[in-house]
């Protein structure tokens, strides 16, 4: 059963950005939501939670991300991810 929740994205500048997600959302799904909020394309995004880089194919629930969890958001400012696609 998917649970709707809000997580907080912490930017490199320390800004906290609320984002509505569901526990069944994949990290790829979350990255699409971030495009709508921040404008960074999915291939330009890296997310870290509890010291782990989050893989696109796993879900919010897989990483045990819960209501008001803080997820570090790191944009790929140099386009390295795009070059590796």
Residue spans per domain, the chain: 4-79
Question: Exposed, middle or buried by CB within 10 Å (0-12, 13-18, 19+), for 14?
Answer: exposed
pTM for the structure as a whole: 0.85
In the numeric block, the tokens 């330009």 are attached to 44
Element (H, E) at 81: helix 80-83
The two tokens of residue 36 are: 């709508």
48 is written with which tokens?
């870290």
- Overall average pLDDT of the 41-56 stretch: 95
Task: Encode pLDDT of 23-40 as tens digits.
Answer: 999 999 999 999 988 888
What is the dotted CATH code of the domain comprising 4-79?
Answer: 3.10.20.90
Of 54, 84, 85, the closest CA to residue 69 belongs to: 54
Higher pLDDT, 8 or 82: 8
In degrees and rounded to multiples of 5, residue 35 shows phi and psi of: -55, -45
């Amino acid at each position: 059963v998917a649970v709707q929740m809000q997580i907080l994205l912490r930017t490199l500048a320390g800004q906290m950005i609320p984002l509505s997600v569901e526990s069944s959302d994949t990290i790829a799904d979350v990255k699409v939501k971030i495009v709508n909020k921040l404008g960074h394309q999915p291939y330009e995004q890296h997310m870290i939670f509890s010291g782990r880089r989050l893989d696109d194919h796993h879900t919010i629930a897989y990483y045990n991300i819960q209501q008001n969890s803080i997820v570090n958001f790191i944009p790929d400012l140099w386009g390295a991810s795009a070059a590796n696609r």
